[in-house]
């Protein structure tokens, strides 16, 4: 039996300094992009009422961490940021305030039946554009997603764009399937298993035209080329409208200058709260997405926003993004080492701490060594192991990749040592403050 005192729960993990610094840097970069587009930060509580997520298409109840408040109300740990932000919009803003541009960086929580590497807690940075309809709004969101990945340091990636109404329109207009059969076929199409989808269509008595169309789609690839070919096919009104939307997006994103980051416009079988375009960003060599987003016009009306019901957004999976970036880092990591290792005799502690504060105000990183030597003579004294306290400080600094050591002795005297080559000199506090360190 493992010692639970020394372990984290399944699906949860610790983040060490290098990972935390990388994560903070990524968040800072992407939030600067969000701000540049006019998006403003919001934050929601970690605990929400279960009803905020229930029947929204967001997170299955089985994946929510649930508990009870003192009145017996069911609470859930936040599993997705979109429903809480729609709730914020519905309860704090008037109709004249729309469209609303929000961004966030928050942790969410999901309980998986079998984790297999999936996180129970994960960080997302994302945006929500609430109350704006049309492809101009969708193009802004996709462009913002692309620019966010670029700002974070990801350059080799592609964005896959889908549309929820494509297959749904074909099935509704070209076949006589009941609702359950449509759901079964859609679930199969979502996995891109066209052969199995064809079998289901035939078993449900679908028209030969629909069967042939699904089979043909399996051989169609490419972005604009695929869309142009689909436009020439007899798809029906709903699926045809989805193709026209994707063509319009392609035109606008080309105007943004981001068409080189677009890949296949993939027909979609999504069944969750997305109601139009859906997109995913993938970096080369990674099997998981770096970001996901789409339009979710059906969600705002559930919170009373009937007149401002249009919404579109995306979320960057910060932890996934950091995994991609971490693979590109050298062995030195991303945490900046301290510039100086500080030590002092007890009687000169006040002066040493004040000078260290001045160095920090100048942007230097100063780490206190808590050295116990009292005087300069003791600091320089060679012990039985042929290492003086200053020698040991230099070795400690070298192991931690700290470039210098400053030792405040009694009075005005200071020892300054270069940890890289071991050289040292005796100087005064006043000279130390004037010198370039």
User: What's the whole-number mean pLDDT along residues 204-226?
Assistant: 65
- Quick one: tokens of 174? 């070209």
Q: Where are the alpha helices (DSSP H) in 204-329?
A: 208-217, 224-231, 237-256, 318-326
Average pLDDT, the chain: 84
pLDDT at 74 over 80: yes
**Residue 133's pLDDT is what?**
92
pLDDT band at 331 (very low <50, low <70, confident <90, very high): very low
**Sequence-separated (6 or more) residues with CB below 8 Å from residue 396:** 341, 369, 402
How far is the C-alpha of 331 from the C-alpha of 83, rounded, in Å?
40
Domain boundary (303, 326, 349) is at 326
Query: Is the same domain home to 353 and 318?
Result: no
Domain boundary (286, 301, 326) is at 326
Query: How far, in Å, are 61, 216, 404 from residue 344 at the CA level?
Result: 58, 77, 14
3-state secondary structure 67-120: EECCCCCEEEECCCCHHHHHHHHHHHCCHHHCCEEEEEEEEEECCCCCCCCCCC
Tell me, yes or no, whether 333 lies in a domain: no
| Beta bridge partner(s), residue 294 | 278, 313
User: What's the whole-number mean pLDDT along residues 323-343?
Assistant: 72
Q: Is 427 helix (H, G, I), strand (E, B) or coil?
A: strand
Tell me, yes or no, whether 114 lies in a domain: yes
Tell me, yes or no, whether 320 lies in a domain: yes
| Beta bridge partner(s), residue 157 | 283
**Residue 59's pLDDT is what?**
83
pLDDT at 330 over 60: no
- Quick one: tokens of 201? 């269509």
Query: Is the same domain home to 190 and 263?
Result: yes
DSSP sequence for 14-25: ---HHHHHHHHH
**Quick one: which of 336, 392, 337 has its CA closest to 369?**
392
Domain boundary (326, 359, 375) is at 326
Query: Is the same domain home to 256 and 360?
Result: no
Query: Is the same domain home to 309 and 388?
Result: no
- Render pLDDT for 50-73 as a digit per residue (tens, 0 to 9): 999 988 888 888 888 899 989 989
What is the chain's Cα-based Rg? 29
**Residue 383's pLDDT is what?**
62
Residue 99: asked if its preceding bond is cis (omega within 30°), the reply is yes
Q: Is 172 helix (H, G, I), strand (E, B) or coil?
A: helix
- Render pLDDT for 356-408 as a digit per residue (tens, 0 to 9): 999 999 889 999 999 777 777 777 776 656 778 888 899 999 998 899 999 99
- Domain at 39, CATH number: 3.30.930.10
26 touches 152 (CB < 8 A): yes
- Domain at 406, CATH number: 3.40.50.800
**Sequence-separated (6 or more) residues with CB below 8 Å from residue 54:** 61
Low-confidence winner among 22-36, 132-146, 317-331, 413-427 (lowest mean pLDDT): 317-331
Tell me, yes or no, whether 335 lies in a domain: no
- Decide the pairing of beta strands 262-267 and 157-163: parallel
How far is the C-alpha of 86 from the C-alpha of 308, rounded, in Å?
11
Query: Is the same domain home to 42 and 147?
Result: yes
Query: Is the same domain home to 43 and 113?
Result: yes
Tell me, yes or no, whether 86 lies in a domain: yes
Query: Is the same domain home to 243 and 385?
Result: no
Query: How far, in Å, are 55, 58, 307, 354, 392 from residue 374 at the CA level?
Result: 69, 63, 74, 18, 15
Number of domains in the chain: 2
Query: Is the same domain home to 363 and 249?
Result: no
Tell me, yes or no, whether 135 lies in a domain: yes
pLDDT band at 436 (very low <50, low <70, confident <90, very high): low
How far is the C-alpha of 111 from the C-alpha of 296, rounded, in Å?
24
- Render pLDDT for 123-182 as a digit per residue (tens, 0 to 9): 999 999 999 999 999 999 999 999 999 999 998 899 988 888 887 777 776 556 677 777
Q: Domain span at residue 418?
A: 340-434
Tell me, yes or no, whether 225 lies in a domain: yes
Query: Is the same domain home to 369 and 411?
Result: yes
Judge residue 63's burial from the number of C-beta atoms within 10 Å of its C-beta, 0-12 exposed, 13-18 middle, 19 or more buried.
middle
Query: Is the same domain home to 162 and 131?
Result: yes
Query: Is the same domain home to 293 and 367?
Result: no
- Quick one: tokens of 242? 């989805």
pLDDT band at 347 (very low <50, low <70, confident <90, very high): confident
- Quick one: tokens of 178? 């009941």
pLDDT at 121 over 50: yes
Query: Is the same domain home to 52 and 127?
Result: yes
Q: Where are the alpha helices (DSSP H) in 305-367?
A: 318-326, 349-361
pLDDT: which is higher, 379 or 339 = 339
Low-confidence winner among 67-76, 324-333, 335-344 (lowest mean pLDDT): 324-333
- Render pLDDT for 79-108 as a digit per residue (tens, 0 to 9): 999 999 999 999 999 988 999 999 999 999
pLDDT band at 270 (very low <50, low <70, confident <90, very high): low
How far is the C-alpha of 425 from the C-alpha of 100, rounded, in Å?
61
304 touches 192 (CB < 8 A): no
- Render pLDDT for 100-110 as a digit per residue (tens, 0 to 9): 999 999 999 98
Tell me, yes or no, whether 36 lies in a domain: yes
Predicted structure pTM score: 0.82
């Amino acid at each position: 039996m493992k010692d639970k005192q020394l372990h984290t729960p399944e699906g949860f993990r610790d983040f060490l300094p290098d990972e935390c610094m990388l994560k903070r840097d990524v968040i800072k970069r992407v939030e600067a992009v969000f701000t540049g587009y006019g998006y403003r930060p919001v934050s929601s509580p970690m605990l929400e009422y279960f009803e905020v997520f229930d029947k929204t298409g967001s997170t299955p109840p089985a994946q929510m961490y649930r508990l009870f408040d003192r009145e017996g109300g069911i609470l859930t740990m936040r599993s997705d940021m979109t429903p809480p932000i729609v709730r914020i919009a519905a309860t704090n803003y008037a109709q004249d305030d729309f469209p609303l541009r929000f961004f966030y960086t928050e942790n969410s929580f999901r309980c998986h039946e079998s984790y297999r590497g999936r996180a129970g807690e994960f960080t997302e940075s994302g945006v929500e554009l609430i109350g704006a309809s049309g492809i101009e709004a969708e193009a802004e969101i996709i462009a913002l997603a692309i620019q966010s990945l670029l700002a974070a340091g990801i350059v080799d990636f592609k964005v896959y764009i889908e549309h929820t109404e494509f297959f749904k329109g074909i099935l509704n207009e070209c076949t006589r399937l009941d609702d359950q059969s449509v759901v079964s076929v859609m679930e199969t199409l979502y996995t891109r298993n066209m052969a199995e989808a064809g079998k289901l269509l035939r078993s449900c008595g679908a028209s030969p035209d629909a069967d042939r169309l699904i089979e043909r789609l399996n051989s169609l690839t490419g972005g604009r080329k695929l869309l142009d070919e689909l436009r020439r096919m007899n798809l029906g009104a709903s699926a045809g409208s989805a193709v026209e939307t994707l063509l319009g997006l392609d035109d606008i994103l080309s105007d943004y200058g981001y068409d080189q980051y677009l890949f296949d416009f993939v027909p979609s079988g999504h069944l969750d709260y997305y109601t139009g375009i859906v997109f995913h960003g993938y970096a080369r060599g990674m099997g998981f997405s770096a970001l996901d987003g789409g339009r979710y016009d059906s969600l705002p009306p559930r919170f009373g926003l009937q007149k401002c019901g249009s919404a579109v957004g995306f979320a960057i999976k910060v932890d996934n993004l950091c995994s991609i970036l971490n693979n590109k880092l050298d062995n030195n990591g991303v945490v900046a080492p301290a510039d100086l290792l500080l030590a002092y005799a007890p009687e000169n502690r006040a002066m040493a701490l004040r000078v260290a504060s001045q160095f920090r105000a100048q942007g230097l990183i100063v780490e206190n060594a808590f050295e116990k030597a009292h005087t300069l003579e003791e600091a320089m004294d060679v012990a039985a192991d042929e290492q003086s306290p200053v020698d040991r400080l230099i070795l400690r600094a070298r192991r931690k990749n700290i470039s210098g050591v400053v030792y405040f002795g009694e009075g005005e005297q200071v020892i300054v040592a270069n940890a890289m080559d071991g050289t040292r000199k005796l100087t005064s506090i006043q000279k130390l403050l004037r010198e370039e360190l």
